[in-house]
Amino acid sequence: MDSTEDNKDEIVGKLSYAKTSQWNTLTTGGGACISSDNSLLFVPCNNTVNVLDTNTGNVQHTFTPDSESALCVAVTPNTEFVATSSRSLVVKVWSWKTYEVTKSFKAFDSPTVSMAFNNTSTYLATGSATGGVKVWDVVGGFCTHVFKGSRGVVSLLVFHPSEYALFSSSSDCSLRYWDMKEPKNHKSINTHTSAVKQIAFDEQKNKFYTVSRDQLLKVWNLQKIKVKNTFPLREVCEGVAIVEVSVSALKSGDVESTDSVRALVTGGDKGIRLWSFEGEELELRHRMKWMNKPIKSVVQTNATDTPTNTTDTTDTTTTIQQQYTFVALTHELHIEIVNTLNINNSREIIGHYDEITDMSFLPKQQQQ
């Protein structure tokens, strides 16, 4: 009897298992971006840039600029080119179709920490850690504009949605407007007491919105570049975007309604919050617990128009879902993909695992 038991233990001890899948670190921080249809999320990860499918959370491709840490990434609205920067001071422009480098250049004598493409996918703006701002021709790979005056780290670059102009924010707390055609129209505005963290444009109402760590949301006239209104957020804010929200997802809305409304979404110390354009907070009918985690950034597309496809039912359904999707990154480097058409379809992906000490399987009812 003892001999049989010993044989069983010996057989069990020799069992081996084949690996079917593996979860790796997805992001280690840095400037992320998202494609114009919200389907692809580009995030720096050590010395690489991962491209995630926002529908599945799977890594679709990985760019490896060089052996140095990747700092930020930008993608053209037509998803034709991807730009990456690293601590090696080299900016590389990649073809999304072939995954090959089309242009490579040294933008500054210090690291490039922010980048943005314009809506025509022809210009790339780069911002340095020492106040430099340059604009580059994407196809030609040459510098077209050099803008001087920023002090400190240029942490934000955003092109005007319909004009040849650029907005930049730096650690001197100034929001700068650079007219690419008429230098005399350049502006430097100090309205926030902290650096502007993000800009959201609303061309329908000729407005744009800014947030910073001074706990204020500013409403601007897009044409005059002047502040029209200020709303207190009562929290340190890191990001803002304009999203489409299903009326049925709001506590104040009819649960049977099939309509939607446009709203502002902010990310800060209190997590993800929704606001009306009049500054009133909008509460969700069902709110995931992870939506209360402090937010590091809200990732938004820089495209002004949402692509539509009426020839294929599947594609149309996907496009509609993507209109109601936005992505936020937490300070813990968790990726929050929020669907404001159906909150139950929202999910959180662990972007960085740190040290794993234990694991277990959860029953389905405990996975929320």
Say whether pLDDT at 2 is over 80: no
- Token pair listed for 332: 């813990």
**Mean pLDDT, the chain, whole residue set:** 88
Residue 355: per-residue pLDDT: 78
How does residue 317 score in pLDDT terms, banded at 50, 70 and 90? very low
How does residue 308 score in pLDDT terms, banded at 50, 70 and 90? very low
CB neighbourhood size of 260 (10 A): 19
Average pLDDT, integer, range 100-126: 96
Per-residue model confidence as pLDDT tens digits over 281-299? 999 999 999 999 999 999 9
Tokens 């007491």 — which residue? Answer: 193
Per-residue model confidence as pLDDT tens digits over 14-32? 678 888 877 788 999 999 9
Say whether pLDDT at 10 is over 60: no
DSSP state of 183: G
Residue environment code for 130-164, b if the CB has 16+ CB neighbours within 10 A, otherwise e:
bbbbbbbebeeeeeebebeebeebbbbbbbbbeeb
Say whether pLDDT at 307 is over 50: no
Residues 82, 75 contacting (CB under 8 angstroms): yes
The H or E element containing residue 186 is: none
Average pLDDT, integer, range 158-166: 95
Residue 27: per-residue pLDDT: 93
Per-residue model confidence as pLDDT tens digits over 45-104? 999 999 999 888 899 999 999 999 999 999 999 999 999 999 999 999 999 999 999 999
How does residue 306 score in pLDDT terms, banded at 50, 70 and 90? very low
How does residue 309 score in pLDDT terms, banded at 50, 70 and 90? very low
DSSP state of 250: B
Taking the C-alpha atoms of residue 123 and residue 181, their distance in angstroms, rounded to an integer, is: 14
pTM for the predicted model, two decimal places: 0.86
The terminus-to-terminus CA distance of the chain in angstroms comes to 48
Segment among 163-177, 194-208, 343-357 with least mean pLDDT:
343-357
